[in-house]
Each structure stands twice: as C-alpha cells, then as structure tokens.
Chains A and B, each alone.
Chain A
C-alpha cells in the first residue's frame, strides 16, 4: 500500500512541477469550447436542442480527461528511455501495486485537468442544473480518469519507443473522442454510427456527466457507471499482467 502511495505521489509531484504542461493541455479544450460552443451554438438552438454550451461542456471535460490520461500512460515511455522504469521493475513490489499506483497518479492529474476545464467553462456561460451534484460529477470524472489512465498504461507498457505515439493519438484517442457523442447527441444518429458510439467507452463517461450536470442521458446513469467500472477493473488486471511481462 505504501508503494502505491509513493508511486502516486511521484506522479503528482511531476505534474505540479511542470506548469507548462498544465497550461498547454488547457489550450485544446478552450479552443473547442470557443470554436464549437459559439460557432455551432446558434444552429444547435435553431434545431430545437437548447443551449449548445450546456450540452458541449460535459463532452469537453471528458475530452481533457481522456487526453491527459493517455498522456500519463505515455510517460511510461519516458521512464523507459530515461531508465527510471528499471528502478520500479526490479523492486519487490507486486505488479498490481505498480499498476495501481501509476494509474492513481495519472488519474489524479487527469481529474484535476477536467475540473479546471469545468471551472473555466463557467466563464463561457455553462451552469450545472444543480450545484449539489457537482461532487457526484467529480466522482464520475475520477472514474473516467481511472479508466483511461489504465488504458494508457496498458498501451504504454506494450510500446517501446515514441514513434508509435502519433499512431496511438490518431488511430485510438481521436476516434474515441470524436465518436463518443462528446459533441453531438446520440439520439437520431445513423444506425452504424450509433453502434460505434455504443461500443466507445468514452460515450458512457460523457453520458454520465451529462446526466449529472444537465440532466439528459442516453444510456442511463446505472449502465454508464457499470460499464466504466467494469472496464477499469479489467484494464487494471490486463495492465498488471503486461507489467509482469515487461522487459528493459
């Protein structure tokens, strides 16, 4: 348990010591909020869907979480290249504990990023339906962060150099985001696209956040939570298996 804590602490310290990374990672969600939120807002309203900013913010929060989570998984590649990975791999610590510590660290930073985006979105006119559910929304954000940090670790533990990073971003992370319903309602989608969105785990994260923050949902909160937690657990076990097979 101490090992999990110190692994978490290490990642948290690295995060707060790189303010440049923090600022840089906020640029993208801001861009989406401005360009999409204001750019498509009037069309969305004319289609009778209400305020697009209200609809979009949960999606953008989820976006900043998934990007930040995946990035923390990629940190494993730095650790490999700069040698620090060896220090953890030879330590007499169960691989599940290493996985848990790293995922907890990545998830904490991702959740903070998401929370910052949520606060910034207030300046864009976003208001949750009910302020009392904000803690619950934060809990869901943590769950999404855990899921995608675990996913990032799984991917990171299978990669040996940075060449594959753009590949992961363009062929996994971007599709996960764009097909998740973060930017559009799932209702009324072409059948094929709905199938894809239903298979995309991020859809459930976005959906849960929308249910809590603005009171609309496609899948329903219980299903959202079940899918997110089930996948997180599965990925944690898969990740610790990959960790135990890892070589330097």
Chain B
C-alpha cells in the first residue's frame, strides 16, 4: 500500500517551545487513522502543518505526493477538514455557510443543492437551514460544521476532535457516513479524538503523540499487546501517564468582549 500522507522528521517550534519534535509517520491510502494524545500534545499543530495553514520549522510532508509548503494549491485540492474550533460565519445562515463551502470547492449548483439538503437532514438542521448561525447552540454549530466538512468528497478528510460535544446519535451517524465514504470512495480518514472507544472501534491504525513526540503506533490490538492492557483507554493511560495536561488559553474571550462593545 502506498502512503497518501508521508511525514518525515517534522518539527515545529514556537520560540523556545517545541510543539512537535521530529515526528515521522505514514498513513496509507484508503486507511482510517487515529491520531491520539493528551491536550497540548501537538495534534492540532501537526494537523495545521499537514493542511497548509502552518509552516513547519523543519522536516518534510507529502500529502498525496505534494508538499504543503511549495505545492499548497495541489494539497488543498486533495483534502477536506473539520476543525477543532469553530470556523463558521455566524452572520450567515446554515444553508449559506454550506453554500459558501460548496462554491469554494467547486461543487456544481445541482450537486450543492442535493448534498446540502441531504447533509442538513442528516445532522437534523434542515428545519433551521435559514436561521443565522449566530442563533445556534454550540451543539448545533458543531453539527453544521460536520455537515459542511462532509460536503465535498476529497481524497483525505481530516477531523480534529469532530465528535466533541456531539450527542451519541449524531456521532454514530457521522462515523457511519465516514465509513461508507471510506469503503465506497476509498477516502482516507485522519482523525483525533479523546474518546478511546471511538478510536478503538473506527481506526485501523493509531499513533499516540505526547509532548510533541510519537510514543507508540500500530493497530488498537498491537497497542494493547504492547502495553499488556485490556482496552485502548488503559493502553493510552499507560503510555501517556495519568497527570492532567494544561493547554494554553486563547484570547478569544477578550475579543468577544471587545466586539460586544463595538456593536
């Protein structure tokens, strides 16, 4: 099997802090790959570099054979992504957010109409299609974001903690949809999650990253054998320890306050 994602000696430093240190891994085409790790382990930083929005300090990346730094346009054509944090326009309606995405990804008008209806029904937001996203709850926004990420059918789909805050129904729906897409179109799925049972059930390959370094990789069974544990959750805890990690906050809250004052 050929690797559709090929990462070699990838490093990203912010000042003196190394968020990702000499990371190497491969994801085979058509695979379902889980990238696991505690908060602040370097998962999102790695995904940002794979998806062209952050330049690596050193190391090489190939996405479908292309380099995200020098061939960003080709790389962008080959993947879709559901981000960890919100990326919707709250002054647009649900349908307009979907349509915006569809146009950027060059989906024909007819296909857009069909998929928007199908996917909004799928995340149970079709009745709210003409409401501004501003009026949505956190869970609704998350569902809309999932629907939008599934709208075009790229070779690789990245999902950064997609199921965070989703109810079990939507979560199951989403995985079912992704597994179908994987089986039918051979779409490579790359995801991160904190739900270990999810990773165990869905992923065919797993890599565990901690403090910027990959500390284990293999199938769920291999990781369990390696750590002599019964479940992936235990294997994960054995590998990464039991202490709780702190993640740096963003200044989003401050921005929200400023915006409130300006309006």
- Let me know if B48 and A162 touch, CB within 8 A: no
- For A84, the chain B residues whose CB sits under 8 A away are 87-89
Interface size on B, residues (CB 8 A): 36
Complex interface residues of chain B between 185 and 205 (CB less than 8 A to chain A): none
Closest to A14 in B: B91
- Let me know if A10 and B89 touch, CB within 8 A: yes
Judged by a CB distance under 8 angstroms, whether A192 is at the interface is: no
Given A10-B92, A10-B100, A83-B87, A90 and B53 contact (CB-CB distance below 8 Å): yes
A211-248 to B contact mask, C-beta < 8 Å, 1/0: 00000000000000000000000000000000010111
- Let me know if A247 and B55 touch, CB within 8 A: yes
- For B62, the chain A residues whose CB sits under 8 A away are none
Closest to A244 in B: B72
Bound complex: CA A91 to CA B54 (Å): 14
Complex interface residues of chain B between 65 and 95 (CB less than 8 A to chain A): 72-73, 76-77, 79, 81, 83, 85-92
- For B86, the chain A residues whose CB sits under 8 A away are 82-83
- Let me know if A90 and B81 touch, CB within 8 A: yes
Closest to B103 in A: A6
A62-97 to B contact mask, C-beta < 8 Å, 1/0: 000000000000000010011111111111111000
Closest to B84 in A: A83
**Stretch of B24-32, B123-131, B250-258 with 4 or more beta carbons under 8 angstroms from chain A:** B250-258
Judged by a CB distance under 8 angstroms, whether A130 is at the interface is: no
Judged by a CB distance under 8 angstroms, whether B122 is at the interface is: no
> A-B pairs with CB below 8 Å: how many?
87
- For A18, the chain B residues whose CB sits under 8 A away are 91, 263
- Let me know if A92 and B255 touch, CB within 8 A: no
Bound complex: CA A113 to CA B234 (Å): 61
Given A10-B100, A91-B104, A162 and B258 contact (CB-CB distance below 8 Å): yes
- Let me know if B53 and A248 touch, CB within 8 A: yes
**B76 touches which one: A85, A91, A247 (CB < 8 A)?**
A91
Bound complex: CA A81 to CA B53 (Å): 15
Rounded to whole Å, the gap between the CB of A238 and the closest CB of chain B is 19
Complex interface residues of chain A between 25 and 75 (CB less than 8 A to chain B): none
Bound complex: CA A92 to CA B132 (Å): 26
- Let me know if A6 and B104 touch, CB within 8 A: yes
Judged by a CB distance under 8 angstroms, whether B99 is at the interface is: yes
- For A90, the chain B residues whose CB sits under 8 A away are 51-53, 76, 79, 81
- Let me know if A86 and B53 touch, CB within 8 A: yes
- Let me know if A94 and B73 touch, CB within 8 A: yes
Bound complex: CA A6 to CA B102 (Å): 10
Judged by a CB distance under 8 angstroms, whether A13 is at the interface is: yes
- Let me know if A248 and B106 touch, CB within 8 A: no
- Let me know if B81 and A82 touch, CB within 8 A: no
Closest to B54 in A: A247
- Let me know if B87 and A87 touch, CB within 8 A: yes
- Let me know if A89 and B53 touch, CB within 8 A: yes
Judged by a CB distance under 8 angstroms, whether A187 is at the interface is: no
Closest to A78 in B: B259
List 28 interface pairs A-B (beta carbons < 8 Å), by A numbering.
A5-B103, A6-B100, A6-B103, A6-B104, A10-B92, A10-B100, A14-B89, A20-B263, A21-B263, A82-B86, A82-B252, A83-B85, A83-B87, A83-B88, A84-B89, A87-B83, A87-B88, A87-B89, A87-B101, A89-B52, A90-B51, A90-B76, A91-B105, A92-B106, A94-B73, A162-B258, A247-B53, A248-B54
Given A6-B99, A81-B252, A247-B53, 17 more pairs with CB closer than 8 A: A10-B100, A20-B263, A78-B255, A78-B259, A82-B90, A83-B88, A85-B87, A86-B83, A87-B87, A88-B104, A89-B53, A90-B76, A90-B81, A93-B104, A162-B258, A244-B72, A248-B54
Residues of B in contact with A (beta carbons under 8 Å apart): 48, 51-55, 72-73, 76-77, 79, 81, 83, 85-92, 96, 99-101, 103-106, 132, 251-252, 255, 258-259, 263
